[in-house]
Amino acid sequence: MSTDIPEGKEAAVRLADSDFAIDRRDHDARSAIADYWGRVRSGELGALPAILGLVSLVVLFTALRPDTFLSKGNIANLFTQALPITILAMGLVFVLLLGEIDLSAGVASGVSAAVMAKLIADSGQPWYVAVITAVAIGIVIGTGIGWLVAVVRIPSFVVTLALFLGLQGLTLRLIGDGGTVPVRDDVIVALANKNMPVWAGWTLAGICAAGYAAVQLARWRRQRSRELVARPIELVVAQSATVAVVLLAGTYLLSLDRAPSPFVTLAGIPWGVPLVGVLLIACTFVLARTPYGRHVYAVGGNAEAARRAGINVTRIRVSVFMIASGFAAISGIVAASRLNSVTPDSGGGNTLLYAVGAAVIGGTSLFGGRGKARDAVFGGLVIAIIENGLGLLGTKAYLNFLITGAVLLLAASIDALARRRRSAAGR
């Protein structure tokens, strides 16, 4: 330190350096892993429980049904099963980040799907008009919920429970008791029942792997240029390589011919998978890279502090319900594609419970302020694997419910315990 600096200022500089030196220090792989392990021990679990659960379930069902669980046809079926729940859960992540709940999301997906199906089947509208209208209906439903919760100040549990009952009546009115509206539009049906060309799947996987690596390396270089703390380049490369291996391995498996007949070819990535990928990238960017996303986390962490910081809390609360219901509409469309029809009970039953379970299992906190869009993907795969694996084992329906409920309770317990550890650690 220069001797020209007065003693008081010199002490202040030393104090500031001691406070912020952590932002400039270099990490090696060992210290980065030690830091991560320290965060895990203090309750910052993230998606770790979901990833461990995925690996455990795959190993378990592979051991129990080695001839069918990892077969080419079943892997594609797993992805298709997970599509509607994953999309619905992705929208619910925004609501859960505020510590709120939307019990009507499942039946909102049914109403939106019914509107789409009626427009195509009865009015002869093209698929894009029907889809835009269905998504708009979902957003309108979410706007109403958000207004009642944020402006009228009715608890979200009460508002969405009322709509859970009311929207089922609306779906019944649209379709009729015992009725079914077929979905035969080629574009809509292709979402969950058709596959991309094999070459297109490989091209998309390569672009995604290269794009992810480029983003991670650009972020590392930006942090280094600003003399901020950055992960070791070895870990950045390892993470990018892991994502590339997962993407390319999945593409390889889905590119194999899984048709039971030698006279028919059935290969390629289902069209719904890139749809989920696009939604995941969009949600991740919004939550991690935009002021709106930071405001969502701020309101979820402490609404009063966010209000005093100048954040429009009312607007944020309304918007998350709009997003959730908009995603519910997309989920309903994909579900209708998978079943080729819409019935009065579409979106009912366990749809909502599975979606909330997927978000929580993936790592989103029920207490607000913590969670990412990727949680819906991990949790949706866990739910799909449990349902699929138990089906292959021929498990009775009541055991399916018991096991899925136990997994959700375990995830909520882990969330509560992690929150307690974070509070004890002062995080």
Where is pLDDT greater, at 415 or 335? 335
The residue type at 92: L
Q: What is the mean pLDDT of residues 188-198?
A: 89
pLDDT digits (tens, 9 = 90+) for 312-326: 999 999 999 999 999
Q: Please report the pLDDT score of residue 292 as a whole number.
A: 94
pLDDT in the model for residue 284: 92
d(CA 247, CA 135): 29
Kindly report the average pLDDT of the chain as a whole number: 84
Residue extents of the structural domains in the chain: 52-111+138-183+272-420
Average pLDDT over residues 234-239: 86
Please say whether the beta carbons of 258 and 266 come within 8 A: yes
Mean pLDDT is lowest, of 19-28, 141-150, 155-164, for 19-28
Mean pLDDT of 286-307: 92
pLDDT band at 423 (very low <50, low <70, confident <90, very high): low
pLDDT at 187 over 60: yes
Residue with tokens 């399916």: 400
CA–CA gap between residue 54 and residue 62 (Å, rounded): 12
Higher pLDDT, 130 or 11: 130
pLDDT in tens, 108-132: 999 999 999 999 988 889 999 999 9
Q: What local confidence, expressed as pLDDT, does residue 51 receive?
A: 84
Q: Are 363 and 49 in contact (CB under 8 A)?
A: yes
Specify the range with the lowest mean pLDDT, choosing from 4-8, 139-143, 259-263, 395-399.
4-8
The first and second tokens of residue 329, run together, are 């509409």
pLDDT of 81 higher than 90: no
In DSSP notation, 115-183 reads HHHHHHHTT---HHHHHHHHHHHHHHHHHHHHHHHHTS---HHHHHHHHHHHHHHHHHHHH-TT--EE-
Contact in structure between 94 and 372 (CB atoms under 8 Å): no
Confidence grade of residue 36 (pLDDT, cut at 50, 70, 90)? low
In Å, the largest CA–CA distance within the chain is 88
Closest by CA position to 326, among listed 379, 286, 357, 289: 286
- Residue 323 is predicted with a pLDDT of 95
- What pLDDT is attached to residue 203? 94
Cα–Cα distances (Å) from 201 to 75, 207, 252, 267, 351, in that order, read: 16, 10, 9, 10, 29
Max mean pLDDT range (127-136, 231-240, 334-343): 127-136
Q: How many CB atoms lie within 10 A of CB 386?
A: 22
CATH hierarchy code of domain 52-111+138-183+272-420: 1.10.3470
Mean pLDDT of 188-196: 89
| Nearest Cα to Cα of residue 273 among 183, 381, 177, 419 | 381
User: What are φ and ψ of residue 378, in 5° steps?
Assistant: -60, -45
pLDDT for position 126: 92
In the structure, what pLDDT confidence band is assigned to residue 308 with cuts at 50, 70 and 90? very high
Q: In this model, does residue 363 exceed pLDDT 80?
A: yes
pLDDT at 16 exceeding the cut of 70: no
Average confidence (pLDDT) over 176-201: 87
pLDDT at position 13, please? 40
Q: Is the pLDDT of residue 9 over 60?
A: no
Minimum mean pLDDT range among 98-102, 137-141, 223-227, 279-283 = 223-227
Over pLDDT 70: what percentage of the chain?
Answer: 89
User: Taking the CA of residue 393 as centre, how many other CA atoms within 13 Å lie in the half-sphere pointing to its CB?
Assistant: 16
Contact 350, 402 (CB under 8 A): no
Q: Are 143 and 163 in contact (CB under 8 A)?
A: no
Chain CA centroid to CA 370, Å: 13
Does residue 162 have a pLDDT over 60?
A: yes
Separation CA 392–CA 62 (nearest Å): 11
Predicted structure pTM score: 0.87
Q: Which residues pair with 342 in a beta bridge?
A: 181
Mean pLDDT across 42-47: 69
